[in-house]
Amino acid sequence: MSSGNSSTTSNQMWGGRFAAGPSAIMEEINASIGFDRKLYAQDISGSIAHATMLAAQGIITAEDRDSIIGGLKQIQGEIESGAFEFSRKLEDIHMNVESRLATLIGPAAGRLHTARSRNDQVALDFRLWVKAELELTEKALSGLIAAFLDKAEQHADTVMPGFTHLQTAQPVTFGHHCMAYVEMFGRDRQRVRHAIEHLDESPIGAAALAGTPYPIDRHMTAKALGFREPTRNSIDTVSDRDFALEFLSIAAICAVHLSRFAEEIVIWCTPQFGFIRLSDAFSTGSSIMPQKKNPDAAELVRAKTGRINGSLVALLTVMKGLPLAYSKDMQEDKEQVFDAAENLELAIAAMTGMVSDMTVNEAKMKAAAGAGYSTATDLADWLVRELGLPFREAHHVTGRVVALAESTACDLWDLSLDALQDIHPGITDKVFEVVTVEASVASRTSFGGTAPERVREQIAWWKDKN
């Protein structure tokens, strides 16, 4: 009777997906092959380099090396053709490959794992993958920068309102605005390059955490795998995921930059702004409102930022309390990086497409550039330069001029000279040469300013650098 009750209780406790009991749960939580199979090429490359080094050092025979390398290349072909059968019972990509290698070449397969551990093996595979992804990201960012440079060059003279607090501040050019994003994505690309430099050390040979007694040549494997040098501390080597965190940090910052421009695209596409238009390639319609054209690509780029930022926070949280050296918690690193990488790659590609695709409404931009008395600062600067007023007094005089324009519902350049001289008798008709939006933009000739000539200098500098 008690045996029957125990069986019933067990079935209730381990029901559903885990009907087989604790072993099923352990297999489910322990297995990583569902996602780390993505590392197959890096795993096989690392094993080929390791086997080559072992033979060169006399740790395994040349015959075993050749059998191992031949088998690994066959396995890679099977994986890439879709013929390879992955097993969850073998936990991860390393054991899946090793098990298949044993089937193909017999006992020689067991010699491949000499002088290494899954701890340094996974660190190697993951570093190789992240390094390759960073190189792809660098290339993608260069393409995005090029798209912004092309758009900036087309619109170095196109006047638009510059904003602070999303309120009209001062006139700028659209080319100058585009160049602001070139600077942002240029910093992202520089961070990518620094990250590649930081991770360019080979982990293989650190073994479980203490190194190995075998006479291995870690410099040989580092060189074979394209690393600058081997890592210098075996404990740090197997417990380090800074390279993954740095990738996610770069991805999060870059995603924020993408999201900021995506937000501007969404705003600028509204009829109220009408600054730009996206083609149907990057827009969708409404299921019930035939007049709608929604900038969905920009909205989705904006949304990806939350997902990518979440991946960074997740891995930071995983790593925050781990004692040295390796802990199984670190298995949770890859899905976050894989997901962030996939979404960042897509978001950069979408933004590159939108920047190239967008049509600029120059007339709308120019009309908006003069709204809100955006050249008021130019008037204040003129009062300082021409009349010698202290800036604070010039600011006060300009405020009275703006109030007059508001009360008569006209622009600054539409006010009469008599009306201006009633506010300050020193004002002359030369003031009308500085209060137009074109004059305002042209006057901002300081290094890095919005004057078209400065914008073209920025573009030329970046084209040479890109």
pLDDT in tens, 254-276: 999 999 999 999 999 999 999 99
**Cα–Cα distance between 212 and 195 in angstroms, integer?**
28
Instruction: Write the pLDDT tens digit of every residue in 377-388.
Output: 888 988 999 899
CA distance from start to end of the chain? 79
Catalytic residue among 6, 10, 23, 286: 286
Q: Give the mean pLDDT of 154-183.
A: 94
Amino acid 280: pLDDT: 86
Categorize the per-residue pLDDT at 409 as very low, low, confident or very high, splitting at 50, 70 and 90.
Answer: confident
Q: Give the mean pLDDT of 415-430.
A: 89
Amino acid 13: pLDDT: 47
Residue keyed to tokens 């010699």? 111
Query: How many Cα atoms occupy the beta-carbon half-sphere of 404 within 13 Å?
Result: 20
Amino acid 294: pLDDT: 86
Residue-level length of the chain: 466
Amino acid 8: pLDDT: 42
Residue keyed to tokens 């949304």? 303
Categorize the per-residue pLDDT at 288 as very low, low, confident or very high, splitting at 50, 70 and 90.
Answer: low
Amino acid 308: pLDDT: 97
Give, in order, the Cα–Cα distances in Å from 144 to each of 181, 279, 453: 10, 18, 23
Q: Please, what is the average pLDDT of the chain?
A: 91
Has 155 been annotated as catalytic?
no
Give, in order, the Cα–Cα distances in Å from 33 to each of 43, 90, 402: 13, 8, 68
Amino acid 30: pLDDT: 78
Residue 31 has pLDDT above 90, yes or no: no
Residue 5 has pLDDT above 50, yes or no: no
Catalytic residue among 3, 81, 165, 287: 165
Q: Give the mean pLDDT of 428-432.
A: 86
Instruction: Write the pLDDT tens digit of every residue in 35-94.
Output: 889 999 999 999 999 999 999 999 999 999 999 999 999 999 999 999 999 998 898 999
Amino acid 6: pLDDT: 41
Categorize the per-residue pLDDT at 110 as very low, low, confident or very high, splitting at 50, 70 and 90.
Answer: very high
Amino acid 45: pLDDT: 98
Amino acid 301: pLDDT: 96
Residue 137 has pLDDT above 90, yes or no: yes
Categorize the per-residue pLDDT at 23 as very low, low, confident or very high, splitting at 50, 70 and 90.
Answer: confident
Highest mean pLDDT among 123-127, 159-163, 390-394, 440-444: 123-127
Quickly count: other Cβ atoms within 10 Å of residue 32's Cβ: 20
User: Is the whole-model pTM more than 0.75?
Assistant: yes
In degrees and rounded to multiples of 5, residue 277 shows phi and psi of -140, 135
Amino acid 292: pLDDT: 57
Amino acid 16: pLDDT: 56
Whether the CA torsion 102, 107, 112, 114 is positive or negative: it is positive
325 or 11, higher pLDDT: 325
Give residue 133's identity as a one-letter amino acid code.
E
375 or 345, higher pLDDT: 345
Amino acid 223: pLDDT: 98
**Cα–Cα distance between 308 and 297 in angstroms, integer?**
17
Amino acid 18: pLDDT: 57
Q: Give the mean pLDDT of 330-351.
A: 95
Instruction: Write the pLDDT tens digit of every residue in 307-331.
Output: 999 999 999 999 999 999 999 999 9
Amino acid 11: pLDDT: 47
Has 286 been annotated as catalytic?
yes
Amino acid 20: pLDDT: 60
The set of residues, in sequence order, having a beta carbon less than 8 Å from that of 260 and lying 6+ positions away, is: 184
Q: Quick one: which of 279, 310, 319, 318 has its CA closest to 295? A: 279
Instruction: Write the pLDDT tens digit of every residue in 213-225.
Output: 999 999 999 999 9
**Cα–Cα distance between 324 and 258 in angstroms, integer?**
36
CA angle 45, 51, 52 (to 5 degrees): 90
